Structure 1
């Protein structure tokens, strides 16, 4: 068995029974330990393996790199309302100035400010860079002379997946 630290760099991609990832954002991956447990439970099919192995006193097994579930898990109909999914919906772009940013450079902005009855929901939250969010403050768009690039709305799972494909993996994680 190789060193544990190096084994941590061997996650397994988890596919649904139709061979599509269970989730894209975050990408559905399991630790090597969880992957091995699933193999022994018989709940997965090994699709691909690393060249690395782990062993016990009685056997040696190749580490799986891709696993497919034997039973299909239906996809969620509506995506979770999370900061990351809002940024993904908005293409990691400020909805006021249009500039693209990394997730840690963006903020949530309530289009209708909370202080004026605005809700924290898909229809009232947009990604905003810090300077634009500061400029808007707790004002309505008309009061500060700002305009949205796109009206906020709830995306579908498919839309988030399509948006995610536009960015390199190291940009998303």
Structure 2
């Protein structure tokens, strides 16, 4: 299968043109064919218009457009879809992972208060795993690698350390704020910058 078809390169907007998800081109074509979404025909000047599935198949494939081959010739791969009926912006909590802990803690060591470079920090289990500690939001913090190494399998107080603040579970955010443009699709930027614009359609 064409690798392009399985990458999340299509931004999904609700019917008010607010970003709420990302999909693969395969998903996008299925949603368009079922009448659940239209694709945006976006031009360099910023002009854009929603296009139905039938009309999309007839669109000219421009130089630089992602495309797939079909028995009827090349078809442009959309970069942005607009849902036909859905109008909400769901909320979601960031997924628990090392990167999310870095973001929650602002890139700051939670024992020293020092701003860390990416290679200077790692994730510390406040109560070490070897002592029954869990990998949870409330038990993990960003720490300077040297501090974390010194702490080892001790509790903070046993290592002479004190947390700047109690770690917490991040609040739920509108999903618009959690969508990442991993594939650097230029057409997404207008919908992800700020994330609050509402367009009536």
Q: Which TM-score band (shorter chain)? A: 0.5 to 0.7
2:98 is aligned to 83
Q: Does residue 1:38 correspond to 2:31, yes or no?
A: yes
Residue of structure 1 equivalent to 2:78: 64
Change (3 A) 1:169 1:6: closer
Inter-CA distance 39–169: structure 2 relative to 1 (3 Å threshold): closer
How is 1:130-141 mapped onto 2 (pairs within 5 angstroms)?
Answer: 130-141=145-156
Structure 1 residues 15, 88: CA separation in 2 closer, same or farther (over 3 Å shift)? farther
Contact 1:88 1:160 in 2 (8 A): no
**Number of aligned pairs?**
158
1:152 is displaced (CA, Å) by: 0.4
User: Looking at both structures, which has the greater relative contact order when contacts are Cα pairs under 8 Å and sequence separation is at least 6?
Assistant: 2
Alpha carbons of structure 1 residues 129 and 36: separation in structure 2 relative to 1, 3 Å: farther
Cα distance change of structure 1 residues 48 and 90 upon mapping to structure 2, 3 Å threshold? farther
The answer for unaligned runs of 5 or more in structure 1 is 23-27
Q: Supply the RMSD in Å over aligned alpha carbons.
A: 3.8
Using structure 1 for the length normalisation, give the TM-score: 0.66
